[in-house]
Amino acid sequence: MPTVIAAALTGAVVFIVFAFSYWGSPKYTDVGYQPDQPVDYSHKLHAGDMGMDCRYCHSTVEKAAFAAVPPTQTCMNCHWKVKTNSLKLLPVRESFAEDKPLKWVKIHRLPDYVYFDHSAHLNAGVGCSTCHGRVDQMPKVTQFAPLSMGWCLDCHRNPAPNLRDPSEVTKMDWKAPAQPVVAVVDGKAIAKNGRVIQPPLHCSGCHR
Strands 188-190 and 183-185: antiparallel
Task: Give the Cα-Cα-Cα angle 164, 154, 69 (nearest 5 degrees).
Answer: 60
The answer to whether 139 and 29 have CB atoms below 8 angstroms apart is no
Question: Has this prediction a pTM greater than 0.95?
Answer: no
163: number of Cβ within 10 Å:
22
Per-residue model confidence as pLDDT tens digits over 126-166: 999 999 999 999 999 999 999 999 999 999 988 888 988 88
What CA–CA distance (Å, rounded) separates 206 from 201? Answer: 9
pLDDT at 20 (0 to 100): 45
pLDDT at 9 (0 to 100): 66
The answer to whether 123 and 62 have CB atoms below 8 angstroms apart is yes
Classify residue 192 by its DSSP letter.
Answer: T
Of residues 138 and 10, more confidence is placed in: 138
Lowest mean pLDDT segment, chosen from 17-21, 112-116, 131-135, 166-170:
17-21
Q: Is 125 exposed, middle or buried (0-12, 13-18, 19+ CB in 10 A)?
A: buried
Of residues 179 and 136, more confidence is placed in: 136
Half-sphere exposure of 157 (CA within 13 A, CB side): 6
Reply yes or no on whether the pLDDT at 23 is more than 50: no
- Residue 184 pLDDT grade (very low, low, confident, very high; cuts 50, 70, 90): low
- Residue 196 pLDDT grade (very low, low, confident, very high; cuts 50, 70, 90): confident
